[in-house]
Amino acid sequence: MTHEPMSASDRVPMSGVRRIGVLTGGGDCPGLNAVIRAVTKDALFHGIEVMGIEDGFAGLIEDRIVPLDRRTVGNILTRGGTILGSSNKANPQHYAIGLGDDGKPVYRDMVEVCMTTIDLHRIEALVVIGGDGTMSAAKPFADRGINCIGVPKTIDNDLWGTDLTFGFMTAVSNATEALDKVHTTAASHHRTIVVEVMGRNAGWLALHSGIASGSDVILLPEIPFELDDVCHTVETRAQRKFGFTIICCSEGAKPKGGKQIVDRVIETSPDPVRLGGVGKWVANEIESRTGIESRSVVLGHVQRGGVPVAADRVLATRFGHAAMEMLRMGKTNRLVVMQEGNLSDVEITSAADKQRLVQPDTDPLVEAARSVYTCFGDGLTKVV
């Protein structure tokens, strides 16, 4: 398909938008395809053409644009990942174009290159599906008059401004299934098994999957833990007949006065720190302090994989429809959010550099977990 390039003066008011671009940025997440499908079908229903942008903002930089129609978004509702591909390294304002003589990445501002692609394909508005990094990356386009509507995605559920992001419920379900499964070995061999779950600096995934699986200990980034308290729980439970302990440990958890364990740093990523390793460290410490056999398992990307659960498909469809409705109403540069059970919207970059974290003193889930004797390693819950 060829198009006449569009100049800025050709752009029509948003309420009369004729063609949009849609992209998925950041890490993949169950439900991305469900949003792409909802956006595309809603747009086509209202006579708006949809162009898919491949691999997030990289597709704009490299002019990789594909038209989306009923056929291309058919049968993708239940599919994990994203049919468009994604990238968490393609920040248009700070894009690595290669390595310099010193072996370090050389960065260039590619926003004008992206604008050329946008104009070439006569894209009048963008639907950007991603986390805070993707929303921040949309800002230079909003500043240049391209209406950017954001749809919040992350399995961490830590995006500021929304109570829920799609993908989270599937990740909780995946993590819970794994936690349920390790019970078999832990119980048979009277071991402690530490399961490290994702979530970065937010403990939502660990808190929800820990409660859902009946984990005996839940370690969150928001509640620095004391190993003595964790070991007390392990030892108390070991005294029972066939005693064992399951620990759901967030990758961002850290001991009181200690630091998070960083697996590696990816310089070219806008979010360079990759956490990981705390589960193994906790298991080793428990075994050496208590003599009780302790093992660890890192769930990793298993949590992001597979078919989205029904609730995520519903949420993704609602978010996709809401994004298109906003666009048709002429709202500009907004992020679709869920607040207290209702769909709403906030300014698209308002989520940047802020995270929604568990509030240990007031979150009713923490209180509920304590009421079933869950240990958070802070000495406040005592197993009996």
- Smallest gap, in angstroms, from Cβ of residue 271 to ligand F6P? 8
Residues 8-37 vs ligand F6P: string with x where CB under 6 A? -------------------x----------
Report d(CA 202, CA 366) in Å as an integer.
Answer: 14
Choices 68-76, 119-127, 152-160, 213-221; region in contact with ligand F6P by CB under 6 A: 152-160
Distance in angstroms between the alpha carbons of the first and the last residue of the chain: 69
Residue 69 C-beta: closest distance to ligand F6P, Å: 30
Considering only 43-51, 113-121, 150-158, 210-218, which stretch makes contact with ligand F6P by CB under 6 A?
150-158
CB of 88 to ligand F6P, least distance (A): 6
Which amino acid is it at 196?
E
Q: Which stretch binds ligand F6P (CB under 6 A): 136-144, 148-156, 216-224, 305-313?
A: 148-156
Q: At its nearest, how many Å lie between ligand F6P and the CB of residue 270?
A: 11
Tell me which DSSP letter residue 255 carries: B
Residue 382: count of CB within 10 angstroms of its CB: 11
Q: Please list the residues that pair with 338 across neighbouring strands.
A: 343
CA 113 to the chain's CA centroid: 28
Q: Nearest Cα to 283, choosing from 182, 150, 362, 145?
A: 182
DSSP conformation class of 320: H
- Which CB atom, from 11 or from 200, has the smaller least distance to ligand F6P? 200
Interface map 195-214 toward ligand F6P (x if CB under 6 A)? ---xxx--------------
- Report CA dihedral (71, 154, 138, 17) to the nearest 10 degrees: 40
Residue in the block written with tokens 């070995």: 185
Q: Say if residues 143 and 92 touch (Cβ distance below 8 Å).
A: no
Residue 189 CA to residue 243 CA, distance in Å, equals 9
- Is 156 known to be catalytic? yes
Nearer to ligand F6P, 186 or 253 (CB): 253
Please report which helix (H) or strand (E) contains residue 23, including its range.
strand 19-24
Q: Is 217 in the site for ligand F6P (CB under 6 A)?
A: no
CB closer to ligand F6P out of 124 and 251: 251
Decide if residue 275 touches ligand F6P (CB under 6 A): yes
Among 42, 119, 156, 312, the one annotated catalytic: 156
- Is the CB of 28 or the CB of 235 nearer to ligand F6P? 28
Distance CA 197, CA 284 (A): 17
Residue nearer to ligand F6P on the CB measure, 250 or 381? 250
Q: Which of residues 87-106 bind ligand F6P (CB under 6 A)?
A: 88
Query: What is the DSSP secondary structure assignment for residue 380, as one 8-state letter?
Result: S
Give the total of residues touching ligand F6P (CB under 6 A): 12
E strand or H helix that includes residue 234: helix 227-238
Burial of 170 (0-12, 13-18, 19+ CB in 10 A): buried
Q: Which stretch binds ligand F6P (CB under 6 A): 2-10, 119-127, 192-200, 234-242?
A: 192-200
Q: Contacts with ligand F6P in 305-364 (CB under 6 A)?
A: none
Q: Out of 232, 274, 328, 331, name the contact with ligand F6P by CB under 6 A.
A: 274
Q: Determine, following the binding rule CB under 6 A, whether residue 140 of this chain makes contact with ligand F6P.
A: no
Nearest residue to 298 via CA among 276, 282, 273 = 276
**Residues with a known catalytic role:** 156
Please report, as ranges, the residues that interact with ligand F6P according to CB under 6 A. 27, 88, 154-156, 198-200, 251, 274-275, 304
